[in-house]
Amino acid sequence: MTTVAFEKSTVREYFESIVVAVVLALFIRTFVVQAFKIPTGSMEPNLLVGDHLLVNKFVFAPNASALERALLPMRPIVRGDVVVFKFPEDPERDFIKRIIGLPGETIEVRGTQVLVNGTAIAQPFAHFLLPHDPNAPLIPGDPREHFGPYTVPADHYFAMGDNRDNSQDSRYWGALPAHYVKGRALMIYWSFDDAPAGGGAGQILSGTRWSRLLHQIH
């Protein structure tokens, strides 16, 4: 009887451990962190196709109590945050962009400049595919060079890709609803370039961008 009881106890302990691990994994996946892969070049050169990110889903928690906000590392979204969100035109898809405009602000794009409430902001993260001549006339109707003025609605944000000439962003599909934001891009845990020929472990080793591993996203 002792042996049978021991076997049942051992099986139960394994089962409980597995259940706890699954519950914790689901909790972390749902509320704390999410993996995300960069699918396009809209954030280049800061984020590359094949970068695998960890997204902090906790930092912008909208329903936190005052006590939780005081004790835990939560904060509101600020300009410059790189966020993952549900694409407003297709909420089943996730996009990643940088927050440029906050609720109530007026946004304008004039050539390579972005003006917030009439003042040009610094954009060390912005990238342009072709050199822009500041003396060249702006192209009417092209939101890449001529957009706004546009006032961001309440509970919305204006998001743009760092690769300004190759990004479908708020210049095209409008403001981002606050409740569509899933979290802030935190760090690159792996980066893979599938261009190298071959297959198997050799391709994984040669395709891994080792210098980008554990790179924090700013």
**pLDDT tens-digit readout, 61-101:** 665 556 555 656 678 999 999 999 999 999 999 999 999 99
Helices (H), the chain: 2-27, 66-71, 170-173, 200-207
The answer to whether 206 is a known catalytic residue is: no
**pTM to 2 decimal places:** 0.79
Residue 45 preceded by cis peptide, ω within 30:
yes
Exactly one of 8, 9, 37, 42 is catalytic; name it.
42
| pLDDT for the residue 114 | 96
Q: Are 82 and 126 in contact (CB under 8 A)?
A: no
Q: Is 200 a residue whose pLDDT tops 50?
A: yes
Exactly one of 37, 57, 65, 97 is catalytic; name it.
97
Q: Is 24 a residue whose pLDDT tops 70?
A: no
| pLDDT for the residue 6 | 46
The answer to whether 97 is a known catalytic residue is: yes
Q: Are 217 and 210 in contact (CB under 8 A)?
A: no
Question: What is the share, in percent, of the chain residues with pLDDT greater than 90?
Answer: 55
Between 111 and 59, the more confident residue is 111
Residue 149 preceded by cis peptide, ω within 30:
yes
Q: Are 16 and 24 in contact (CB under 8 A)?
A: no
List the Cα angle 30/167/152 in 5-degree steps: 75
| pLDDT for the residue 58 | 77
Q: Are 81 and 98 in contact (CB under 8 A)?
A: yes
Q: Is 28 a residue whose pLDDT tops 50?
A: no
| pLDDT for the residue 141 | 74
| pLDDT for the residue 144 | 85
Q: Is 7 a residue whose pLDDT tops 70?
A: no
Q: Are 93 and 87 in contact (CB under 8 A)?
A: yes
Q: How many CB atoms lie within 10 A of CB 162?
A: 22
CB neighbour list of residue 3: distance below 8 Å, 6 or more residues apart: none
In the chain, the domains with their CATH numbers are: 2-216 (2.10.109.10)
Measure the CA–CA gap between 168 and 41, rounded to whole angstroms: 11
Q: Is 190 a residue whose pLDDT tops 70?
A: yes
Strand partners, 56: 33, 184
Q: Is 49 a residue whose pLDDT tops 50?
A: yes
Highest mean pLDDT among 7-11, 17-21, 106-110: 106-110
- Core vs surface per residue 24-42: b (16+ CB within 10 A) or e: eeeeeeeebbbebebeebb
